[in-house]
Structure 1
Amino acid sequence: MSSRQKTFYEQELERLYNEVLPSPKLFALIRQSRSFMQKYHSENVVLDDLAKASFMSRFHYVRMFKQIYGVTPRTHLKDMRIDRAKLLLQQGQSITKTCFDVGYESLTTFSAVFKKSTGYSPKAFQQLHTPLKNDAR
């Protein structure tokens, strides 16, 4: 085999690949932490604990998570909670129960985050998306 010198372009692609893309092990650790967040989104999920479990500093963990998923872990967790809350509210569950079931400890905070995410208060969302029950006559 002849060993030819890599072109500048090939060298730059290799450098970028090694610098930008996370290693398979790092990728697996981040995926594991995301799965944990999905499973325990209604619990008190602490960013420092996720980072430690992934063997990274908090800042490196956030940077890698965002690189892989396009959002920070905090935003991803909030989005999961709001998606779950929308489903529960559509099913007719009370706003207070929904608040606690999706992991919020304050109804005020839940309502503010929900409205910022959806454009509706939880009550308005529920009224808009809950099918009306037909009266039996």
Structure 2
Amino acid sequence: MKKELRTQFLTRQHMVSKDFEIYYYSDTTLLKVENHAHNYYEFYFFLEGDVSIQIGSDIYPVQFGDIMLIPPHIYHHSIIHSSKVPYRRFIFWISQEYCNYLAQISPDYVYLMHHVQATHTYLYHNDRVSFNAVQSKALRLIEEMQSDKFGKEAQIPLSVNDLILHLNRMIYERLHPARQHEGLALYQNISQYIEEHLNEDLSLDRLAREFYVSKYHIAHIFKDSIGISVHQYITKKRLDQCREAILGNMSITEIYQLFGFRDYSSFYRAFKKEYGISPKDYRDMNSLILNH
């Protein structure tokens, strides 16, 4: 760990910044911190130390890779069992106001915060690979905050949001493994259906009726699986079939009608946007190549 990224530990237990603060601590001699609570969220990312954290009346021994989230107004403090090894950890503070701001962008940013408050599950164990990804993002954020790079003020909130979303996704996927598998299976089944029915109505309403799920769920599954909407996916598949048909010397009028385009103008626009050339020019260009 880079020594210049380390912060001298202070007993201050309030935020100076408005939205977030992050620190890397490595201590052998610790100042005592009494039982306390914050009005913000506090993440612990544990690296090393013979330490437990008491939250309320419960005591949680911690080890490398553990992540702990303590919500606002929950009393807690560290218990140092031995100072033979350094007590190393990241501390990440996020204000409630900043969480509310992120929630307006997407509720995915605050899934973990709500989950912890609802279940009182504060501690999450991680394998080395998973934790290293978190540690890397935390280090990158600290490096950015301590740098003089161009664009620093723009990059810092991006790095903060990336770390927060990563933590939410990591815990969500761990708690919903069955749903992940079901989502992948549904995506594969719908993809196959689309391939086999490109010349038919493939509206979200039609797909929802065929698969007995809501159209919003289908839209979410596709966005999560491949990063584009169902409509974009269908259009790309139809255009690919149209392109193959053009190479097979089928008439362009037959092609766009066969593969579900309402009229030539919408087909023309979509084809040119996808391939950078009109359907007719594509046919003529490939005719020249084939006849050369």
Tell whether the structures are fold-level matches, with TM greater than 0.5: yes
Which residue does the alignment assign to 1:79? 236
Shift in CA distance, 14/98, structure 1 to aligned 2, threshold 3 Å: same
Shift in CA distance, 5/24, structure 1 to aligned 2, threshold 3 Å: farther
Q: How many residues align?
A: 131
User: Looking at both structures, which has the greater relative contact order when contacts are Cα pairs under 8 Å and sequence separation is at least 6?
Assistant: 1
Q: State how far apart, in whole Å, the 2-side matches of 1:14 and 1:5 are.
A: 20
Q: State how far apart, in whole Å, the 2-side matches of 1:123 and 1:99 are.
A: 12
Contact 1:30 1:54 in 2 (8 A): no
Match of 2:222 among 65, 87, 112: 65
Cα distance, 1:118 vs structure 2: 1.0
Give the 3-state SS of the residue equivalent to 1:45 in structure 2: coil
The 10-residue stretch of structure 1 (28-37 or 8-17) with the greater mean CA deviation from structure 2: 8-17
Match of 1:30 among 156, 176, 187: 187
Shift in CA distance, 132/61, structure 1 to aligned 2, threshold 3 Å: closer
Cα distance, 1:93 vs structure 2: 1.3
Match of 1:88 among 227, 245, 248: 245
Which residue does the alignment assign to 1:10? 125
Q: Does 1:43 find its partner at 2:158?
A: no
Deviations 1:66-111 (A, max 9, x none): 1112221111100001111111111211110111121112111111
Which residue does the alignment assign to 2:266? 109
Give the 3-state SS of the residue equivalent to 1:59 in structure 2: helix
Contact 2:187 2:222 in 1 (8 A): yes
Which residue does the alignment assign to 2:77? none
Q: State how far apart, in whole Å, the 1-side matches of 2:178 and 2:246 are.
A: 39
Shift in CA distance, 5/124, structure 1 to aligned 2, threshold 3 Å: farther
Give the residue type in structure 1 aligned to 2:229. Answer: T
User: Percent of aligned positions with the same letter in both sequences?
Assistant: 21
Any gaps of 5 or more consecutive residues in structure 1? none
Q: Superposition RMSD on alpha carbons, in Å? A: 2.7
Any gaps of 5 or more consecutive residues in structure 2? 1-59, 68-123, 127-166
Higher strand share: 2
Q: State how far apart, in whole Å, the 2-side matches of 1:5 and 1:58 are.
A: 45
Higher helix share: 1
Contact 1:44 1:103 in 2 (8 A): yes
Please, what TM-score do these two structures have when normalized by structure 2? 0.40
Give the residue type in structure 2 aligned to 1:50. Answer: L
Please, what TM-score do these two structures have when normalized by structure 1? 0.79
**If you compute each CA radius of gyration, which structure gives the higher value, 1 or 2?**
2
Give the 3-state SS of the residue equivalent to 2:260 in structure 1: coil
Q: State how far apart, in whole Å, the 2-side matches of 1:109 and 1:15 are.
A: 40
